[in-house]
Structure 1
Amino acid sequence: MELQSKIYVAGHRGLAGSAIVRRLEKAGHENIVTRTSKELDLRDKTAVYRFFAEQQPEYVFLAAARVGGIVANHTYPVDFLGDNLKIQTNVIEAAYEFGAKKLMFLGSTCIYPKLAPQPLKEEYLLTGALEPTNEPYAIAKIAGIKLCEAYNRQFGTDYVSVMPTNLYGPNDNFDLQSSHVLPALLRKFHEAKESSKPSVEIWGTGTPRREFLHADDLADACVFLMNNYSGSEIVNIGVGDDIAIKDLAELIGRIVGYEGEIVYDTTKPDGTPRKLVDTTKINELGWSASIPLEDGVRSAYAWFKEQYAVNPVN
C-alpha cells in the first residue's frame, strides 16, 4: 500500500477495525475511507455497490461483522449466520466488481473444529465438528474464507484471509449479554469493586484455556500482511500462548483491585476446552505479537474506566 492509496476499512468503529485505522494513520496513510453502519448498511447489496462505485477503494480491510460471546451466539443464531453472510458477500463481490487491488477478510479462530489438536494449525480447517455454541458465526466465517479462495482461483484476485484469536482493547464491547470473556470480566470486577460486592460469579469451571491478542497487535499484523503476504491459504494471528480462565479472572481481579471471592457457576457451559493458535506461519513471515497480556489488560481497563465514566455501559 502506498501512503496515498485509498483504503476502505469496513467496521472502523469496532474493536478490530478501529485498531486498523489507528495503525494506518500511524504509518502515515491519510486516504482512509470509513462509513458507520447507519451511513452504509453492509447487508444491503445495492447500497454497498453504490458506495464502491463512488469511492473506488484500492485496498479493503473487511473487519465488519456481527460479533458476540456465547450468550449472544446462542440467542441470535439467525442474525449471526444471516447478517455475516450478507456483509461479507456484498463487500467481497463489490471489491471484485469495482476493481479493488487487494482485500483482507478477518475471520476468527472459532472456524477450527472444537476438538482439533492444539495448537491450531491453519490446515485443521474443516477437519471436524465445530463448537456448537458459536457454530452459526463460524459457518459464516468459513463461507467468507471460501469465497475469497474461490475469487482468487476463478478470477486471479488477491484476497487474503486472516484468523485472529480472541481480541481485546479499546472500543471493545462491554455489554454483559453480548461481550466476550475478557471485557465481561473487566466490567464484572469493576462493578463488584465499586459496589463492594462480596463475590463475582463466572460462567463455567474456569479450566478452559484461551489466548488473548491486543487489538493493536492485530492491526499491526493486518497491515504487515496486507503489505507482505498474498495467497489463498489462511493465516493465524495470535500470541502463541494461552491462559486458563481462572488465572485470567485472578489477573483481572488484581488489576482492578477487587478483593472479594470468585465463584464459578459450573452449571453454565465452558465452550471449547482450549483454543490456542499455531503462529508459526506468521512468525516465519516476519511478524510476532509485542504486547504482554498484563500490560494490555491494564491499558484496556484504563480505557474502560475513562469511557465508562463518560458513557456508562448498559
Structure 2
Amino acid sequence: MDKEKKIYVAGHRGMVGSAIVRNLEERGYINIITRTRQELDLRDQKKVFSFLEGARPDYLFIAAAKVGGIYANNTYRAQFIYENLVIQSNLIHGAYLAGVKRLCFLGSSCIYPKKCPQPIREDYLLTGPLEPTNEPYAIAKIAGVKMCESYNQQYGTRYISVMPTNLYGPHDNYDLNNSHVLPALIRKAHEANLRGDEKWVVWGTGTPRREFLYVDDMANACILLMEKDIPGGLFNVGTGVDVTIKELAEMIMGVVGFQGSIVFDSSKPDGTLRKLLDVSRIQELGWRPQIDLREGINKAYRDFLNRVAA
C-alpha cells in the first residue's frame, strides 16, 4: 500500500478498527479516513454510497459490525443478522460502485460448523451445521465472505476476508451482558478481588479449550494481507495454540491479583469443547503473532483499569 493513498477504516472506534488505525499510523500511513456512527450511519445505504463516492478511498477495512457474546447473539438474533447484513452489504457494494479495488472484510471464526475437525481449516466453511446460539451472526458473516468472493469473480476486485479467533485487547467490551469470555473473566475477577471474595465462580467445567489473539496482532495480519496485495480469499488468523478455560481463569487471576480460589459452576453450559484455527495459510505469508497470552492479558487489564474501572 502506498503510504499516501486514502484508507477508510469502517468501525474505527471499536476494538479491531482502532487497532487497525493505530497500526497504520505506526507504519507511517498518513491519509486515514474515519467516520463516527453519528457522522455516518452504515445502515443507511444512500448515505454510505454517497460517502464512498465522494471520498473514493483506495483501500477499505471493514471492521464495523454488531458484535456480542453468547447471551447477546442468542437474545438479539434478528438484530444481529439484519444489522450485519446491511452494514457489510452497503460497504462492499458501495466500495465496488465507487471503484474501490482493495478491501479487507473482517469476519469471525463462528462461521465454521459447530463440529469441525480441529484445527479448523478455511475449506471447512459450509461443510456442516453452525453453532445454534450464534447462527444468525455467523450466517451474516458467511454472506460477507461470499460477497467478497463473488465480486472478485464477477467484477475483478481484490477483496479479501479475514477470520480471527477470539480477540481481546484495548477498547474491548467489558459489559457482562454481551461481552466475550476473556473480557468478562477480567471484569469478574477484578470485582471479586475488590469485594475481597474468597471464591470466584466461573461458568462451566473449565475444560473447554479456546484460542485467543491480541487485537494488535490481528491488525498486523490485516495490513500485511493488504500490503502484499493478496488478490482475494479467506484467511484464518490466530495463534495456533489454545488453552483451557481453567488455565485462562488462573492466568487472569494472577494478573488481577485475586487471592481466593476458583470454583467452576458445572451447571452452566460449556459450549463447544474446542475451537482452534489452522493458521498455516497466513503463516506461509510470513505473519506470526508477537504478543503472548499472559502479556496480552496484562495489557488488556491495564486498559480495563484506565477505561472502565477508573
Q: Is the 8 A contact 2:164 2:237 kept in 1?
A: yes
Match of 1:257 in 2: 257
**Aligned amino acid, residue 60 of structure 1:** L
Q: 1:273-306 CA distances to partner (integer Å, 9 max, x unpaired)?
A: 1111011111111111111100010111111111
Measured at CA, do residues 309 and 202 of structure 1 come closer, stay the same or move farther in structure 2, by a change above 3 Å?
Answer: closer
* Deviation for aligned residue 1:202: 1.8
Provide the C-alpha distance between the structure 1 equivalents of 2:38 and 2:262, rounded to a whole number of angstroms.
40
RMSD: 1.0
- In structure 1, how many angstroms separate the alpha carbons of the residues matched to 2:98 and 2:228? 23
How far is the alpha carbon of 1:217 from its aligned partner?
A: 0.4
Q: Is the 8 A contact 2:159 2:233 kept in 1?
A: no
What are the superposed Cα offsets for residues 186-213 of structure 1, whole Å, 9 maximum, x if unpaired? 0100011111123222222211111000
Runs of 4+ in 1 over 6 A off after TM superposition: none
Task: Report whether the alignment pairs 1:60 with 2:93.
Answer: no
The aligned amino acid for 2:105 is: F
- C-alpha separation in 2, matches of 1:111 and 1:267: 27
Alpha-carbon distance in structure 1 between the residues aligned to 2:273 and 2:136: 19
Unaligned runs of 5+ in 2: none
Q: Which amino acid in structure 2 is aligned with residue 200 of structure 1?
A: W
Structure 1 portions without partners, runs of 5+: none
Q: State the TM-score, normalizing by the size of structure 1.
A: 0.97
Equivalent in the alignment of 1:83: 83
The separation in 1 between residues aligned to 2:294 and 2:309, in whole angstroms, is: 22
Counterparts in 2 of 1:1-40, with a 5 A limit? 1-40=1-40
2:192 paired residue number: 192
Q: TM-score, normalised by structure 2?
A: 0.98
Whether the aligned pair in 1 keeps the contact of 2:64 and 2:87 (CA below 8 Å) is yes
Partner residue in 2 for 1:218: 218
- Per the alignment, residue 278 of structure 1 pairs with 278
Matching residue of 2:238: 238
Partner of 1:202: 202
For 1:229 and 1:58, how far apart are their aligned partners in 2?
Answer: 12
Query: Aligned-pair distance for 1:229?
Result: 4.5
What amino acid is the match of 1:8? Answer: Y
Shift of 1:107: 0.7
Q: Which residue of 2 aligns with 1:159?
A: 159
Q: Tell me, yes or no, if the aligned pair for 1:133 and 1:271 is still in contact at 8 Å.
A: no
CA deviations over 1:134-177 (Å, ceiling 9, x no partner) = 11111100000000001001111110001011000000000000
For residues 10-60 of structure 1, the C-alpha deviation after alignment (integer angstroms, 9 at most, x for no partner) is 010111100000000001111101111121111110110111122111100
Aligned to 1:291: 291
Distance across 2 between alignment mates of 1:147 and 1:49: 17
